[in-house]
Amino acid sequence: MSHLQPTRKWDARYIGIVPHDNTYYAKCLMGGALACGLTHAAMTPIDVVKCNMQVNPAKYQRLWSGLATVLHEEGSTGIWKGFGPTLIGYTLQGSLKYGLYEVFKDLYMNVAGEEATKKYKPAIWLAGSASAEFFADIALCPFEMTKVKIQTSPNGSFPTAFGAALAEMRSRRLETRYPFGSLGPLWTRQIPYTMAKFVFFEGIVQQFYTHIFTAPKETYSELTQLGITFTSGYLAGIICAVVSHPADTVVSLMSKAENKGKSVGTIARETGLVTLATKGLGTRVIMIGTLTGFQWWIYDTCKTVMGLGTTGGK
């Protein structure tokens, strides 16, 4: 009679120091909510100018001159238009983006198995981030549509207060296509963006710990690990901005009254691929690079404070 004990099945949820149980995922949801909600809300002035550069490029040609134009015409409140829906929308989106990424990543690793996970790790990252963003965008869409409408409407033509703007979007839903009229373009923008954001972040972090910080990850201070997190996030954010910019421009153009009833394809053809890919890109690179770097830094700081450690590098 054999006395050998059965080998425990490999489980991705238990390969790290901290088990990935429901408490772990809940903490990741909290960290993602803070990471995205705070950073997107803080970048509202740049977002106001970026959206107007896409919608009215003749008037808003550059970041600093665009800021000056908004301040001159609408005062200091003008550059903070859309703050409310930005904060709420991206808090919801961030919680699902980061929290569900951890869930789907573990799920797909377990489906693939240990050997395939080691061999095809980037594919796991891509699948996990795409799945998470699919659901995150459903939560974001009504608030993103409201934010863009507030930011790109001529001064005085649309409410800027959060509650009044939501009510106006609902009452004019045939025109605004609220609440999910922009979901398709949003998926087109956000899913490639998030896939790039997560796979390049994870890959860059891994390169840092493989080629530069070659000692075991846990031997480095939390400050060093968070520095690697921010740098990796910033570099990943630059790639994200380029990948997702054409779809971002389409989302902004859909808010224009003259584009009412037009399909995404029609708007894209009329605007032209070069304009879609380049107009406002420099501003968006600054915005998304900084935003993504700080998002990962806030997220990993929250994880560190809650005893979960920083992301990636193993």
Q: How confident is the model at residue 279 (pLDDT cuts 50, 70, 90)?
A: confident
Which residues, including other chains, have CB under 8 Å from residue 177's CB and lie 6 or more apart?
145, 254
pLDDT at 5: 46
Query: What percent of the chain shows pLDDT beyond 90?
Result: 67
What angle do helix axes 183-207 and 281-305 make, rounded to 10 degrees?
A: 60
For 91, 99, 146, the CA distances from 269, given in Å and listed in that order, are 33, 37, 25
Query: What percent of the chain shows pLDDT beyond 70?
Result: 97
Structure tokens at 300: 């990993």
What angle do helix axes 222-253 and 264-271 make, rounded to 10 degrees?
A: 90
Q: How confident is the model at residue 241 (pLDDT cuts 50, 70, 90)?
A: confident
Which residues, including other chains, have CB under 8 Å from residue 94's CB and lie 6 or more apart?
32, 33, 34, 35, 36, 37, 40, 136, 295
Lowest mean pLDDT among 26-35, 133-142, 288-297: 288-297
160: three-class secondary structure by DSSP: coil
Neighbours of 54 (CB within 10 A): 28
- Between 85 and 277, the higher pLDDT residue: 85
Which residues, including other chains, have CB under 8 Å from residue 305's CB and lie 6 or more apart?
none
Q: Does 314 score more than 70 pLDDT?
A: no
pLDDT at 270: 81
Q: How confident is the model at residue 62 (pLDDT cuts 50, 70, 90)?
A: confident
pLDDT tens-digit map of 66-108: 999 999 999 999 999 999 999 999 999 999 999 999 999 999 9
For 12, 64, 65, 285, the CA distances from 69, given in Å and listed in that order, are 52, 9, 6, 21
| Peptide bond just before 179 cis, omega within 30 deg | yes
pLDDT tens-digit map of 172-194: 998 889 999 999 989 988 898 89
What CA–CA distance (Å, rounded) separates 190 from 134?
A: 8
Class of domain 17-305: mainly alpha
What is the mean predicted confidence (pLDDT) over 236-256? 81
Structure tokens at 299: 């997220």
Q: Could you give the count of Cα atoms lying within 13 Å of 197 in the half-sphere of its Cβ? A: 31
Lowest mean pLDDT among 112-121, 206-215, 287-296: 287-296
Q: Does 58 score more than 60 pLDDT?
A: yes
What CA–CA distance (Å, rounded) separates 65 from 235?
A: 26
